[in-house]
Every structure is written in structure tokens, then in C-alpha cells.
Structure 1
Amino acid sequence: MAALPVPEHPPVRSGRLDARDVEEAFTQVSAATPEGWRVELIEGEIHVTPPANGEHEEYVSEASDQITLRRRERSVRSYTGIGLNVPGASQTGHVIPDLVVAPKGTFDNKEEWHDASAVLMVVEVTSDSTAGNDRVKKIRGYARAGIPVYLLIDREAGQATVCSEPEGDDYAKKSSYRLGLTVALPAPLGFDLETAEF
């Protein structure tokens, strides 16, 4: 593992960091992080994640392929490596889902962090280092951002959970399926995902 230079500590005002200080620290950590590592700002905390293992990427690839094959709307695309602004998860929030499903052209700009309003679904595949965020904090962030569907593929628990109908800090509907079963994706997707292929 590469050693990361420690950014200068931002000034503390009234015993707490303000949003600008957190953003500045996030920018410094992002710039110092080796290529392939993921840096996210989740509920005011900076999270640095090493590159995913092969099994993780097989799950992401399978989900992406099935979405491409089964999508009802031909203009829908699957994206990896897309940074999303998730306002409301904290004063500042930047996440990089494993997979983002959105209409073609949604991210056709030079921005690193994108508005999430056009996103139809995000997919997260758990790893030892990300499972806690994927199961709790990201559900809150994606719901607050109004993302219609969040698919959590939890390798450790052996299940897939579909979260839909965002309401405030959570999703009104959550359906869990044992991996190996068919997972029904609600509108705006409206097709089945075969998790036996994972």
C-alpha cells in the first residue's frame, strides 16, 4: 500500500470543521491518492478505498451487462467511475457508486462530480472495506438525493436488496432476495435481474 502524504490540518473554527474545510481536505486527499483508489466524502467523512478485487468487478460487470441487455429504454446507459454529488448526506457529499444507470448524455461534460437528478438507479457491490457505508450511509445519501432505485448487492450477506421510492432519509420500499434468485427492479427500470449469474 502506498503511503499518502498527510494534508495540512484545516483551521478549526468553534471546535468544528466547516464545509469549506472539509471540501479542502477532501480535495487534498483526492490529489494525493494513488490511481485506482476511490475517495469519497460521505456524511462529512473522507473514505479512501483500495481498488476492488476481481470477484467484486465480476459482479459489477454482470449487473452492467444485464442492464444493457434488458433495459426497456434504449437510451439508458450503465456507467462506472462516475462521481455524484449527493446533497443532504452532509453539507458536502461526493460518492462514486459501483454502477450508475442514467439516460445517455447525462454526464457529457468535463465535471468530476455530477448532479444526481437524472440518475435512475445506483448499484453498490459490498466489499469488506465498504459494506458499512453501502448498507447504511449510502442508503441515506441516495434517498436524500431522490435517486429512484438503489440496488445493494451484499456479497457478505449473500443477498440483493432493492430500495425504491425515496422519502427523506430512507426508501419507503425495500425488498431483499437471496443471491441466486431473480430480482425484480421497479420503475423506472421495470425488468428482472438474474442474480444466479453472479
Structure 2
Amino acid sequence: MVPGRTMAVSRDGQGGEMTAMYPEYAQWLRQVRSSMKLPKAVKLLFDQGRLYMSPVTEAHSEADDSIRLQLAEQLGGESGLHVTRDKGVLPEMDGYMPEPDVLVVDAGALGPGDAFVDQKHVHFVAESVSRSTVGQDYGRKLNQYAARGIATYLIVDVLTGECVLYQAPKGDEYTSAVPYRFGEEIGFSLAGVPVTVRTDFKKIC
């Protein structure tokens, strides 16, 4: 594998459109998957020569689904926005391409077969923190999303029972960071459309 390349392996281990986009890695990904007996509840992330294994717990799944459904309900109709999940954000930056747990993008930016979206179409991303990815979510991903000009980044930390809403990106940092405890309601706007997110999520004890 080329140092600096970030690759995600789907739960079936094939990588989907990722291997089509980077065919030189298709065989390598198959070899990795075949040599590791992994449960379906584990997501793999290869980043700069490191392998991250992130468990997809019930708390993570419920939080991601809740955010996606809440935003989809509020942004339906004529908002011009679409809610999705687990899409790669292009282009690569410093050899890295993030895949947020939840995204809000311009309507029409994704076709039925698309697994990637251009950063210029992304208005919102959310990440659910795992023990193996906490440094990425509060560090590299935060800097990446700000540098890409993504207006709003929501971290859901099921380890601490807190959320942080980052907004107003400038350079590779967000100039606004507001913490919330689980159970509080978060209000903000996406492309001029006001939305709220209820944070009645579960904490991992």
C-alpha cells in the first residue's frame, strides 16, 4: 500500500466503488480481508500505513440513524438538500479522504451509484466517536472538514455522553465550538434552513 493513502473496507470486505476508483488496491484489499476473520460489526480504516478497527456498536448505529432521520424529515421537500451516510468526500487532501457517518449534501449531487461526493456540495458532516478513532475525530478529521469549507461538523461522543457542534470554518480550524450534553437539543442552520437535532443518544458505559 502506498503511504498516506486512506482506504475504507466495507462490512463485506470488498471496498465497493473504492476498489473501482483505485483498481491497484483491489487485490490487496481482498488479501487483507481474507487473512482477517472479522465480525460484520467492525469497520476497517487504513490511514497512512495504520490499520484502525472501529466497532459499530448499537450506540453508534442508533446515534447515526437518529441524526440522519431527524435531518431528512426536516430537510425534505424544497430545501435543496439531501441527507446520506458513509460517503467519501473528494478530493483527497494530504493523502486523506474522510468518510463521515452522516452527511448533508446538495440535492442531485449523488447519483444512485455514487459512493463519493465533491466537498463543494457538502454542508454538514457528523461523526460518532469510537475509542480507536477519538484522535482522528477531534483532530485530523476536524482540521480536514474545516479546510474543506464544510460549514458544520457535529461530533457525537458516545464515550463521554457529549456532542460538540463546530461551525464557521477558517483555514483548517472552526472558529465556533459549542458543547452539548446528551439530552439537549442542538439548533443550527444548513444552507439557510433551520434544523434541530435531539441528542437522546446512548452512552457506552
**Which of the five TM-score ranges fits, normalised by the shorter chain?**
0.7 to 0.9
Q: Which has the higher strand share?
A: 2
Matched residue, 1:37: 43
TM-score by length of 1: 0.75
Could you tell me which residue of structure 2 aligns to residue 80 of structure 1? 85
Say if 2:174 is the partner of 1:193: no
1:133 aligned counterpart, secondary structure = helix
Give the match for residue 69 of structure 2.
65
Aligned residue identity for 2:58: G
SS at the partner of 2:104? strand
Which stretch shows the higher mean deviation, 44-53 or 184-193? 44-53
Q: CA deviation at 1:37?
A: 2.9
Larger mean Cα displacement after TM superposition, 122-131 or 101-110: 101-110
* 2:176 alignment counterpart: 173
CA gap of 1:163–1:187, structure 2 versus 1, over 3 A, is: same
TM-score (norm 2): 0.73
Aligned residues: 176
TM-aligned CA distance change 1:144 to 1:58, over 3 Å: same
SS of 1:61's equivalent in the other structure is helix
Measured after TM superposition, the shift of residue 32 of structure 1 is: 4.3
Q: Cα deviations across residues 122-150 of structure 1 (Å, max 9, x unaligned)?
A: 00011112121111111000001111100
In 1, Cα distance between the equivalents of 2:6 and 2:171?
A: 28
Give yes or no for contact 2:55–2:130 (8 Å, CA) kept in 1: no
Question: Which consecutive unaligned segments of at least 5 residues does structure 2 have?
Answer: 9-21, 34-39
Q: 1:31 to 1:83 in 2, by over 3 A?
A: farther
Provide the C-alpha distance between the structure 1 equivalents of 2:164 and 2:64, rounded to a whole number of angstroms: 15
Query: Larger deviation: 123-132 or 55-64?
Result: 123-132
Give per-residue Cα distances to partners, 1:48-91, cap 9 Å, x unaligned.
33451122100000111110122275432211221113644x2x
Q: Which AA in structure 2 matches 1:39?
A: L
Task: Measure, in 2, the Cα distance between the counterparts of 1:173 and 1:152.
Answer: 13
Give, in whole Å, the separation in 2 of the partners of 1:40 and 1:101: 24
**2:36 alignment counterpart:** none
Asked if 1:135 corresponds to 2:138, the answer is yes
Q: Distance in 2 between matches of 1:116 and 1:47?
A: 25
The residue type equivalent to 1:76 in the other structure is L
1:102 correspondence with 2:99:
no
CA distance in 2 between counterparts of 1:61 and 1:185 reads: 19
Show CA shifts across 1:153-194 (max 9, x none). 111121111111111111011111111001112342522111
